[in-house]
Amino acid sequence: MTTVEPSPGLAQPHRLAWQEARVEAIHAETPEVKSFVLRPQSWSGFTAGQHVDIRLTAPDGYQAQRSYSIASAPDDSGTIELAIEALPDGEVSPFFHDVVEVGDTIELRGPIGGHFIWNAPLGGPLLLVGGGSGLVPLMSILRHRASVAPEVPATLVYSARRYDDLIFRDELFRRRDADAHFRLEVALTREQARDGLHFGRIDAALMARAIGTETPKLTYICGSNPFVEAAASLALAAGLPFGSIRTERYGG
């Protein structure tokens, strides 16, 4: 196990050790996204919305490091679930899709992140806005809310290219149908609407519908840089206070 050394002169509030995690299960979620259930060697829990860093080391010593949000809800299983989208010509995500198998060990450190998090004391109503794989930390928040505070109203606005690209689709629709306090608004950008789903990008009308009559106490927006910019602008234009909006950017 290696410990990350702090940069000279930089204050380090705490240091997270790299550790090995065993891959316990792999599921195809969409044509481009697989979920990975990992069991870190030493794990003392996390808060919904946090992420881990993953580090790959090539035989010649070259290392690549990326961040991945945790999709599962905090529980005492000792495992975490990641959902990783394979990006064309990417370095790390195709490795997960094409090389990683059940039984492998992966280096990770975490949990990381203290702002884009939710737990029951923070309360609601919640507005969650995700684009593509930006759904992942919102899924952790939704799953956690369902188990610890199902009375907290939550609305998820989820934008994906096509119906088949909706990560955790069956679970999301199941939760929508079973949970009177959970609303789901899906926007498909590259496929005509079906079954009440919105066609096109998230716009002012969809944002207004998502906000509804109960102003969210907290809004979480996650996705690529352009997605987060657009969604945060819409949320502000709809009158949500700046301080109530939390964002997480995946780059791109």
Ligand X SMILES: Cc1cc2nc3c(=O)[nH]c(=O)nc-3n(C[C@H](O)[C@H](O)[C@H](O)COP(=O)(O)OP(=O)(O)OC[C@H]3O[C@@H](n4cnc5c(N)ncnc54)[C@H](O)[C@@H]3O)c2cc1C
Residues in contact with ligand X by CB under 6 A are 51, 66-69, 83-85, 87-93, 133, 136, 248, 250-251
Q: Which C-beta is closer to ligand X: that of 34 or that of 198?
A: 34
Q: Which C-beta is closer to ligand X: that of 125 or that of 133?
A: 133
Smallest separation (angstroms) from ligand X to the CB of 212: 28
Q: Which of 245, 215, 212 minimizes the C-alpha distance to 228?
A: 245
Q: Which C-beta is closer to ligand X: that of 189 or that of 215?
A: 189
Q: Which C-beta is closer to ligand X: that of 190 or that of 194?
A: 190
Q: Which C-beta is closer to ligand X: that of 107 or that of 248?
A: 248
What number of CA atoms fall less than 13 Å from residue 8's CA on the CB side?
Answer: 0
Mapping DSSP onto H, E and C, the string for the chain reads: CCECCCCCCCCCCCCCECEEEEEEEEEECCCCEEEEEEEECCCCCCCCCCEEEEEEECCCCCEEEEEEEECCCCCCCCCEEEEEECCCCCCCHHHHHHCCCCCCEEEEEEEECCCCCCCHHHCCCEEEEEEHHHHHHHHHHHHHHHHHCCCCCEEEEEEECCHHHCCCHHHHHHHHHHCCCEEEEEEECCCCCCCCCEECCCCHHHHHHHHCCCCCCEEEEEECHHHHHHHHHHHHHCCCCHHHEEEEECCC
CB 252 within 8 A of CB 225: yes
Smallest separation (angstroms) from ligand X to the CB of 72: 11
Q: Which C-beta is closer to ligand X: that of 8 or that of 88?
A: 88
Smallest separation (angstroms) from ligand X to the CB of 164: 16
Closest residue to ligand X, Cβ-based? 90
* CA diameter of the chain: 58
Smallest separation (angstroms) from ligand X to the CB of 136: 4
Smallest separation (angstroms) from ligand X to the CB of 62: 13
Q: Which C-beta is closer to ligand X: that of 85 or that of 107?
A: 85
Smallest separation (angstroms) from ligand X to the CB of 161: 14
Smallest separation (angstroms) from ligand X to the CB of 181: 25
